[in-house]
Chains A and B, each alone.
Chain A
Amino acid sequence: MTALLDLLPQLMKGLQTTLLVTAFAAPLALVMALVSGLARLAPIKLLQWLAIIYVELFRGTSLLVQLFYFFYVMPLFGMSLDPVTTGVLVLALNTGAYGSEVVRASIGSVPKSQREACIALNMSPAMALRRVIFPQAFVTMLPPFGNLLIELLKATSLLSLITIFDLAFAGNTLFQTTGRTLEIYGLVLMIYFATAMVLTLGMRWLEKRMGAGRDLEFRP
């Protein structure tokens, strides 16, 4: 048992990096998702095309190759970033591309009649989006956003391949020095799972909070 506890400090150090990268990448991914998702619906063709190119580029190529590209190839063009910044950036861009589709689909799922009610109240299209359409779409976005957040957390394990000492990296290092396969990977699995669980519960809480008026009992 004491031997098991000896492993923890190293793993916790790795987990710290994993959480740090997730914490920076997630909001950035959200911004990318919102900006590119809304650009897809903008009345300006150029914006639509830029968003489509971004989304298809990042969805259509492997995350691992994207990481390698930004880490090893970009410096050849004079863009040299430290590993953690590269990791945060690539993960955010990749997750944001998937999130973009979530944003687009959720806004499209708000009934047309809501837009018509806005017109009847003489709102501009921008105001209708901001005050009526987006708040309703956002509630629909939350569950798929929760999925993407978990995906993001797990994808950080790839950062070990660009020299970042994250949870997976810490596990590998310990395994190589101690050879205790069962305990180490068992622990790593459990830590990922527990972290994902916390994120899931957080998203559930947020869904409940944001869903005002949605799932209330019918009480005439």
Chain B
Amino acid sequence: MLPVDIPPSPALRLRGVSKAFGSLTILDKLDLDVAPGERISIIGRSGSGKTTLLRVLMTLEKIDAGSIEVFGRYLGQRPEGGRLVPATPEETRAVRGDIGMVFQQFNLFPHRTAIENVIEAPIHVKKMGSKEARDMGMALLCTVGLADKADHYPRQLSGGQQQRVAIARALAMQPRIILFDEVTSALDPERVDEVLSVIQGLAQESTITMLIVTHEMRFARDVATRTIFMEEGLIVEDDAPAVIFGKPNKARTQSFLQSVLGRGL
């Protein structure tokens, strides 16, 4: 029998996470718990700290204060003598492997083809055999609808196609948490849907935990199991998408949604 009284460790557990650039506070003592399998859309104005939140989770930025736990393990820190001290790069990498990220600007490797982009890290970081990696990579490219573009270089692909390769590349590392940072903001309007539908498909077919920063409000409502509204480095409101987009409790959430949804969803 499994002990039933031990709760599973949360996918993410943030306590008092702060980040400032000079005198500008970007994250202000943030607390957040994310259960495994949750899909959280994060909305808010530019500069509200949503992208920085994803970047500290990916260890692209160091936090000034607070702690981050990923499935029960501290990220970038380790407890020592009753307090947290900076972790070694190896310790950080061991925890960071649970997290993957898709960027606004795709950030594909320009000197590698689509399939090479996807299998680079599985082969060299995870030491997967190249045959096995290639099969998995092709399957992932198939999932994002780009099997026929496997041998194209990023330059030869449209923005939407590049972003779908980037999603496949992130998934190839089999992260338990995936971060989407405004993944459609750099795309031509007619290319947005092809990327969103890939993420929608992923949401339906997997139990991977997702944090999605987006300006696409309809998508933020439809894909998520939970929505967070951020302002000035704080979580202002955190509730079910139906509540946030239907009848938000906070005036600041209402005023933000009114300003971006002038004409409705």
Contacts and interface: CB of A to CB of B under 8 A. Distances in A.
Interface of A: 113-114, 116-117, 119-125, 127, 131-132, 135-136, 139, 212-214, 216-220
Given A117-B107, A127-B125, A131-B124, A216 B60 contact: no
B113 to A, nearest CB: 7
B109 interface: yes
B152 to A, nearest CB: 8
B123 to A, nearest CB: 10
For A123, A131, A216, which residue has the most chain B Cβ atoms within 10 angstroms? A131
Given A132-B109, A213-B112, A220-B161, A121 B125 contact: yes
Contacts of B245: none
Nearest to B59: A119
Contact of B103 (A120, A124, A217, A219): A120
A127 to B, nearest CB: 6
Contacts of B169: 121
A121 B112 contact: no
Contacts of A116: 58, 60, 103, 107
Given A121-B121, A127-B124, A214-B110, A113 B105 contact: yes
B69 interface: no
B247 interface: no
A135 B105 CA distance: 20
A131 B101 CA distance: 19
Interface in B98-120: 99-101, 103, 105, 107-113, 120
Interface string B147-172: 00000111111100100000001100
B120 A121 contact: yes
A217 B156 CA distance: 6
Nearest to B120: A131
B97 interface: yes
B132 to A, nearest CB: 17
Given A122-B173, A136-B111, A218 B120 contact: no
A202 B109 CA distance: 27
B231 to A, nearest CB: 26
B96 interface: yes
A115 to B, nearest CB: 9
A113 B107 contact: yes
A131 B152 CA distance: 19
Contacts of A139: 111
B157 to A, nearest CB: 6
Contact of A121 (B89, B105, B152, B173): B173
Given A216-B156, A218-B156, A220-B158, A122 B112 contact: no
Contacts of B111: 135-136, 139, 212-214
B93 interface: yes
A122 B96 contact: yes
Most chain-B CB neighbours within 10 Å: which of A121, A139, A214?
Answer: A121
Contact of B58 (A120, A135, A212): A120
